[in-house]
Amino acid sequence: MTVATDRSRGSQVLRGALDVCLLAVISEEPVYGYAITKALTDRGLASVGEGSIYPVLGRLERAGLVHTFRRESESGGPPRKYYVLSPDGETALDSWREHWVQTRSAIDRVLQTTKEHR
């Protein structure tokens, strides 16, 4: 059995939290894919690229957690697809935030307890 590298371990954790991270960014204002990636990078999640978020955005849309609309690009390019939270998305985000805090606190307690017992 091999121990996961720090990078792959971080990727696994992020994969589990990416849905809620995307919903959180989208909750701030209607936003398109590249801007979501930039917001995540600006907040310390530089390892998340556009290729990673689009499958998740599609899943969130199919689940009814986000709605989309198209808006002309300010730079003169093709229209951009914007994402906005649906009412179900707002409810899911609130629930996932609460669950994240509880889970993070429990993991912090486990890690602290095991460190004290070394």
At residue 63, the 3 state secondary structure works out as: coil
pTM of this structure:
0.81
Class of domain 14-116: mainly alpha
What pLDDT sits at residue 73?
84
Q: What's the pLDDT score for residue 48?
A: 83
Please write down the long-range contacts of 6-10, taking CB distance under 8 Å and 24 or more positions apart. Answer: 10/47
Confidence at residue 1, expressed as pLDDT on a 0 to 100 scale: 45
- Domain map (residue ranges) of the chain: 14-116
The whole-number pLDDT of residue 13 equals: 62
Mean pLDDT by 10 residues, the chain (118 residues): 57 75 96 95 87 93 97 88 97 94 91 75
